[in-house]
Amino acid sequence: MDGHTMNPGDLSWDPVAKLGDLHIYPRMKAADVVTRAADAEVILTNKVPIGRDMMDLLTRLKYIGVLATGYNTVDSAYAHQLGLPVTNIPGYSRDSVAQMVFAYILHVTNMVWDYNNSVKNGDWETSADFSYIRTAPVELSGKTLGIIGYGDIGRKLGEMARAFGMEVLISRKQDGTLPGGSQDDINLGRVHAVPMEELFERSSFISLHTPLNSHTREMVDSSLLSRIKPGTVLLNTSRGGVIHEESVLDALDDGKLICYAADVYDQEPPKPASALIHHPKTLFTPHIAWASRDARERAIRIAADNIQAWMDGKPVNVVNDVQRGRV
């Protein structure tokens, strides 16, 4: 549907092309989906929303592959009703996304770019001393990182944080349950599981890694943000919709949140003049955390493996619990 972001020309679609008759559209408007995909049995979409109206009209469709980990753009519950499997691509960009979170953290704590600009502007050459401090760097060792959503990316981020000597907190879900797969790390003392409210109270850095769904939409609201310590940094590489935008703006304005660093926005691309994007205390990248060449190459290969497994009658990475074909 929208192959350009995954492969702007530096990769090959061959792993997918080998499986059938492949048509790549660099971009697609929602209004064109039904005509362009009328004959398709398999569609791959990244951010083109696939809703129930389209699924009703695409009568030949048997499989929807999401070219991403987050699959909030597809009405997978309705696809389930139709017996249409929806697959995603877990894990392909785990290392790249966790690395991006640390790029934001180090940007805030070490200000390499600000110091570089100051040096290039001549401040060092005219300094009275061998060194000068504009804003003191912050040492991460001993600081607390709170991770909301301890899955593939959250776990990798925790590993990186421990290498920096940070304490890692993870949150229980709203119903009190632990994220799957976290028990070992809790038992080994690598992370501490606390209620979401306590995580907001204790963390200097809070990083969001949940999927966007009805439980997580606008989860980070004024109630949670009222608990943070002055000087907290909020990091979001999950989905823009996980935060309540007005509440984040208020927390930035009242000085408790010193930075909101994000790779995602509720509507992408954002409309011009977003107050959040243009706020002096925010740091934004254009949904690029996943986009290393390595990760994109992995994604194309896994997308092809997903289709092959489904053709072989043993589907994998199905997110809506449909194991058979359209009924």
Ligand X SMILES: NC(=O)C1=CN([C@@H]2O[C@H](COP(=O)(O)OP(=O)(O)OC[C@H]3O[C@@H](n4cnc5c(N)ncnc54)[C@H](O)[C@@H]3O)[C@@H](O)[C@H]2O)C=CC1
Please give the positions annotated as active site.
239, 268, 287
Considering only CA atoms, which of 238, 226, 239 is closest in space to residue 197? 226
Q: In sequence order, what are the beta bridge partners of 220?
A: 243
Interface mask (CB under 6 A) for ligand X, residues 34-73, using x and -?
-----------------------------------xx---
Can you state the angle between helices 293-311 and 94-110, rounded to 10 degrees? 150
CB of 223 to ligand X, least distance (A): 15
- Binding flag, residue 46, ligand HPV (CB under 6 A): yes
How many residues touch ligand X under the rule CB under 6 A: the total is 32
> What is the rounded (10 degree) CA torsion for 125, 131, 136, 140?
120
Taking the least distance from each CB to ligand X, the nearer of 36 and 47 is 47
Backbone angles phi, psi at 65, to 5 degrees: -105, 125
By CB under 6 A, residue 173 contacts ligand X: yes
- Judged by CB under 6 A, the stretch of 23-31, 74-82, 208-216, 307-315 that binds ligand X is 208-216
Q: Of 3, 65, 70, 315, which lies in the binding site for ligand HPV, with binding defined by CB under 6 A?
A: 70
Rounded to a whole number of angstroms, the minimum distance from the CB of residue 269 to ligand HPV is 12
Angle at which helix 152-163 crosses helix 94-110, to 10 degrees, equals 40
Q: Out of 63, 78, 104, 290, name the contact with ligand HPV by CB under 6 A.
A: 290
Helix or strand or coil: residue 222? helix
Of residues 190, 191, 237, 208, the one with CA closest to residue 149: 208
Judge contact between 94 and 154, C-beta under 8 A.
no
Q: Taking the complex as a whole, how short is the minimal distance between the CB of residue 291 and ligand HPV, in angstroms?
A: 7
User: Following DSSP, what letter does each residue of 125-184 receive, concatenated?
Assistant: TT-SSS---SS-----TT-EEEEES-SHHHHHHHHHHHHTT-EEEEEPPTTSPPPTT-HH
Minimum separation from the CB atom of position 303 to ligand HPV (A): 10
Partner whose footprint covers residue 73, from ligand X, ligand HPV, none (CB < 5 to 8 Å by kind): none
Number of residues this chain uses to bind ligand HPV (CB under 6 A): 9
End-to-end Cα separation, the chain, in angstroms: 24
Length of the chain: 327
76 binds ligand HPV (CB under 6 A): no
**Candidate ranges 61-69, 129-137, 216-224, 316-324; the one touching ligand HPV (CB under 6 A):** 61-69
Binding mask 83-112 for ligand X (x = CB under 6 A): -------x--xx--x---------------
Nearest to 164 by CA among 136, 187, 144: 144
- Does 3 sit near ligand HPV (CB under 6 A)? no
Map residue 308 onto helix, strand or coil: helix
Only segment of 66-74, 126-134, 202-210, 228-236 that touches ligand HPV (CB under 6 A): 66-74
The residue behind tokens 């205390």 is: 281
Position 154 contacts ligand HPV (CB under 6 A): no
DSSP string, 70-111: --TTB-HHHHHHHT--EE--TTTTHHHHHHHHHHHHHHHHH-
Q: Which candidate, 305, 319, 308, places its Cα nearest to that of 92?
A: 305
Measured at CB, which residue is nearest to ligand X? 151
What's the closest the beta carbon of residue 204 comes to ligand HPV, in angstroms?
25
Residue 261 makes contact with ligand HPV by CB under 6 A: no
Q: Which stretch binds ligand HPV (CB under 6 A): 62-70, 158-166, 186-194, 300-308?
A: 62-70
Residues at the site binding ligand HPV, with contacts judged by CB under 6 A: 5, 46, 67-70, 93, 287, 290
Residues at the site binding ligand X, with contacts judged by CB under 6 A: 69-70, 90, 93-94, 97, 148-154, 171, 173-174, 179-180, 209-212, 215-216, 237-239, 263-264, 287, 289-290
